[in-house]
Structure 1
Amino acid sequence: MYISKITLENFRCFEGKTDILLNSGINFFVGDNNAGKTTIFKAVEFIKSGKIKEEWITKNLSKDAEVSVELELKGDDVAQLLGTDKLKKYQSYLVGDDKLILKRSSKESTWTDSKGKEKNISLKNITFYNPETKVFENPSGIDTVLSSLFDTQFVYSDLKNEDYQGFGKTNIAGRLISDVTEQFKTSPEWQELKRAHSVAFGTEGLAQLLSEVQSRVQGILNEQYGEAKVEFNFGLPTLDNFFKNGNILLEENGIKTDVSEKGTGMQRALALSLIQVYAGIDNQVSGILKTPLFFFIDEPETFLHPQAQDKLLASLEKISDNSQIFITTHSPYLLRSYNKNSHKLYIFSRNPDEKRIQEDTHIGILPYSPSWGEINYFAFKVASPEFHNELFGELHNLARSKNKTFENGSKTVGKGISCFDTWLSERSDVIPTDLEHVNFKGKVNNSYQDKTMTSYIRNHIDHPGDYPDGQPVRKKPTIEEIKDSIEFMLKVYESELK
């Protein structure tokens, strides 16, 4: 099962309704700082926690505005999960064969149950879409079973020390220890501990030492309140209780230190290591239907060398075969294996002239995608000479393969750059060269003169050249000119060569 769609309404920086379609593998969120990337993480937390509306509402909106988050869960195992004991009574909420839609909203509403009783819904309630009644409903106790439906693991860039204090089931270390030690409860070692505990705390141990105190308490109780028997009982703690007293120590230069006392870099490295180990163990368990676990990792590249980022990405790729992953990042290294068929890439922007969030549909133009130039341009808005030349070459090849013509159809684009340049020059939105962009220091010579800035930039990148006196032959294109030329080529690609 995976989250196939998230719908936000007036949630933090997303005013109005915003739909985000997701992939079952890795979903990358890139773009400007404070543009809403981690807000997607917070939206999932909102579904699970339902904190007060004021913490999540879009700024400057009326207090009466509805704030909601809707999750669409999809997968072949959805029906199987609803067949388990904890979730059987929610089978009527299955949409089709493989989908569930749940929602938490600040808008109060009502619904009518199967007995005709009207029930209220508020921010405190998680609701499921009923495909028969066409409304969102809140069966009794559904909040308590949400953890049986799916679980989440968040690794934020601003980790908190308490995330590593002990092995509670809410953090990744606790999940790892709990899963690995499940069989330990039937081991000889655990049975021996039970026997030792019985001796130490039983009638021959601590209970005997406390028998006098126990009798005195019972005596007073009987005198003042009536007959009752008092017994001090020291039952064997569950394995989980032992875990709560555990912690993780890291040893460096012979000195052991609690990980909560380490720096953020070490803590993040440990969190990512635990995730990789946990997912590996989880994948080895076959034939067992387990609650899906979704990973939300904020800027995993932080404190990591590029080579370490490559290794981390390889591990995350393996994890994504069985667990959905969400990554916010500013690193092109984590996108070097991006595949539009198995990944999703969303670009976030704070520019008022652009959409707040937009799915990338461009990476993949080149036959050898993704190139560094593609990644940097489409994901991070960084124009480069390298991508300009890659795109120029691909468009030239496409124009040749499609037998594009110019000069009223009298000529066909061939191998020569000059004919491709002429074909480009006939486009209505072409950027032509001027006297500042010619071959020899502002002077026209007898050789071919580039008609378009696109060809001029390509030729300058490949052959900047020097005049005999050492001065540049061509004026170097600016980054802005390179960007404008790339945008022009992308329009040509979309309209005529795609």
Structure 2
Amino acid sequence: MYISTLKLLNFRSFKGEQEFHFTDGKNFVVGNNNVGKTTIFEAVDFLFNDLKRNQEIDDLINNESKNKEMYVMITFSDLSDEIKESKRLKPYVTDNGTLTLIRGNQVPTIDTKGKHVISNHKTLLYQNADSHEFYNPTGINNATKPYFDPTIVYANDHNEDYQDFKTSGLLGKLLKLEAKDLLDSDEFKVVQQKFNDLIEQDGGLQSHLSSLKEFMEKSIADQFGKVSLNFNFEIPAMDSIIKNGRVFAKDKNGEQDISEKGSGLQRALTLAVIQAYATFAKKADAMQFFIDEPELYMHPIAQDNLLNALDELSKQDNQIFLNTHSPYILRHFNSERDSVVILSNDSNEQRVRQMESLIFRPTSIGEITYKAFGVPTVDLHQRLYNFIENKVIYEDKSQVMKKGRYRKVNSEVLFSDYLDQNYKKLLTYKDFRSRFTKNSNNNGWASIKCYPLPYIVRNEIDHPDVYLEDDTGTNDFKEEDLKESIQELFKIYDKEFTK
């Protein structure tokens, strides 16, 4: 089961309706600061958990859309058989095996009496598979919470929920899974018997409380008649034992509860719990993990270790969401299973878009960095240039009257001629001086000529000795030239290989 679609209507910075599509693997959300990456996580949090403490519903409505409808809607796909066969959920599961949930401030709803009402944010609603109307049958939230309980790790929080041992939390689940074998062991049965003896045998807890019990029985008898009381103490289950636990950490400042340590260590613990979950919880139910800025406080090797663990989790049918500014994190993108959502506040670009399909296999970090962040790299330029150069066929016009005049490009000069013949209108031309040519003069430098920009950038990368510190204004390698050349090479690629 995974979240396939997220729709936001007037939620925080997202004015109007915005739609996101995700895969069942790792989903990277990228963009500049303040474009709404963390807002996506907050939307999911709101859908499943309603408002946070001290939060008002107006805090979540887009500033330009006050008094208008706001909602967060999620569609799950590839549902488990257990969910499909659930009596409570069956009316809401479509023939395609999807389930849609919504929470908002003004959602039209069918209430438990069959009346049409407007629901507020306090109610999580389920879309009926046939009528497409939204319902909230009594008790459905509690019955379905085990299936829909995403783990969200924010960058700016201490993440206390993941230090808690309660069995609804990730750490509690992990501890319970690891302690399962102990529950059936003879050692635990001995502990249970000793606990029972401590309560029931002579001199035990019941004996110590007998006077208190008799006093209370007499007091009740004076008011209501004779009643016999009994204090019942159940043998503690493993859940009860685990939920009262706490994590303590010892460092150079001494041993303290983890909640008293710095936010860096607390976040490190949270991510360590997730990594441990990937290793130990092989048979656990599928979950969704949302991690805000996984690169925070982590050096590159630690980032790799975390992403390897998350990749392992995704292979175990867990869905991963990552907000990131880091091209290094995107090194772990798998084009067969993962997605990249790009957010922008630029009026010239789409607010939300999926990353374009990739050319290179295996994945090129240069291509991802460019398509996700718009950052040009030498690696991408050279790979694109080589790919096109090695694939195209060149028409040698000096051999027009002879057979076999079409041939593969086998030199940069021929490739420059090829670009000039076929894509002159697409290309930028600039002055360039090559060096060590057959017709060179002036101490090895050829005369200045006008060449296609990709040819010039390629030469300046491969032959840094062509850089000139003189007043000719040529061979001055700049970042904007690299980016413009990459853009032109992508256009040529599209025309050559995506016809």
Whether the TM-score (by the shorter chain) exceeds 0.5 is yes
Deviation of residue 191 (structure 1)? 2.4
**Whole-Å separation in 2 of the counterparts to 1:432 and 1:406:** 21
Q: Give the corresponding residue for 2:249.
A: 250
Whether 2:123 is the aligned partner of 1:120: answer no
Aligned to 1:26: 26
1:33, CA displacement in angstroms? 1.5
Q: Distance in 1 between matches of 2:34 and 2:397?
A: 50
Q: How does 1:285-296 map to 2 (within 5 A)?
A: 285=283, 291-296=285-290
Letter in 2 for 1:375: I
Given residue 261 of structure 2, which amino acid in structure 1 is its aligned partner?
Answer: K
The Cα shift of 1:149 comes to 2.4
1:80-479 equivalent positions in 2, closer than 5 A: 80-83=82-85, 87-111=86-110, 117-118=114-115, 120=117, 122=119, 123-160=121-158, 162-163=160-161, 165-202=163-200, 204=202, 205-252=204-251, 255-283=254-282, 285=283, 291-322=285-316, 323-362=318-357, 364-370=358-364, 372-398=365-391, 400=392, 403=393, 414-425=409-420, 426-434=423-431, 437-439=432-434, 449-465=449-465, 474-479=474-479
How many angstroms does 1:3 deviate by? 0.9
The 3-state SS of whatever aligns with 1:451 is strand
TM-score normalised by length of structure 1: 0.86
- The residue type equivalent to 1:222 in the other structure is A
- CA distance in structure 2 between the partners assigned to 1:408 and 1:112 by the alignment: 81
Rounded to whole Å, the distance in 1 between the matches of 2:343 and 2:395 is 39
Q: Which residue of 1 aligns with 2:43?
A: 43
- Say if 2:15 is the partner of 1:10: no
* Native 8 Å contact 1:157 1:298 kept in 2: yes
Q: Which moved more, 1:462-471 or 1:238-247?
A: 462-471
Per the TM alignment, residue 340 of structure 1 is displaced from its structure 2 partner at its CA by 1.6
The SS at the match of 2:429 is: coil
User: 1:299·1:328 contact (CA, 8 Å) conserved in 2?
Assistant: yes
Aligned to 1:494: 494
Name the residue aligned to 1:73. 76
C-alpha change, 1:466 and 1:117, in structure 2 (3 Å) is closer
**Which of 54, 57, 61 is the equivalent residue of 2:65?**
61
1:437-463 CA deviation, whole Å, 9 max, x = no partner?
4448xx997568342122112111212
For residue 322 of structure 2, give the secondary structure of its aligned residue in structure 1: strand
Identity %: 31
Matched to 2:321, the amino acid is F
Amino acid of the structure 1 residue aligned with 2:169: N
Deviation at 1:358, TM superposition (A): 1.7
Gaps of 5+ in 1: none
Q: Give the direction of change, closer, same or farther, for the CA distance of 1:368–1:321 in structure 2 (3 Å limit).
A: closer
Q: Contact 1:31 / 1:380 at 8 angstroms: preserved in 2?
A: yes
In 1: Cα distance, 2:399 partner to 2:225 partner: 110
Question: Following the alignment from structure 1 to structure 2, what is the Cα–Cα distance between the partners of residues 482 and 418?
Answer: 19
Question: Residue 89 of structure 1 aligns to a residue in which SS?
Answer: coil
- Pair 110,256 (structure 1): closer, same or farther in 2 beyond 3 Å: closer
Contact 2:11 2:70 in 1 (8 A): yes
Partner of 1:328: helix, strand, or coil? strand
Alignment RMSD (CA, Å): 3.1
2:4–2:77 contact (8 Å) kept in structure 1: yes
* TM superposition shift of 1:497: 3.1
Change (3 A) 1:68 1:298: same
Check whether the contact 1:395–1:497 (CA below 8 A) recurs between aligned residues: no
CA distance change for structure 1 residues 112 and 218 in 2, over 3 Å: closer, same or farther?
A: closer
* Contact 2:43 2:72 (8 Å CA) reproduced: yes
Whole-angstrom CA distance in 2 between matches of 1:470 and 1:112: 79
Q: Deviations over 1:338-389 (max 9, x none)?
A: 2222111112223232222221114x3235531x322322222222333222
* 1:395–1:31 CA distance, 2 compared to 1 (3 A): same
Aligned mates of 2:361, 2:205 — CA distance in 1: 75
1:181 alignment partner AA: A
* TM-score relative to the length of structure 2: 0.86
Aligned partners of 2:467 and 2:477 also within 8 Å: no
Q: Determine if contact 1:164/1:259 at 8 Å carries over to the other structure.
A: no
Per-residue displacement from partner, 1:14-40 (whole Å, max 9, x unpaired)? Answer: 211222111111111122122111222
Secondary structure of the 1:145 match is: helix
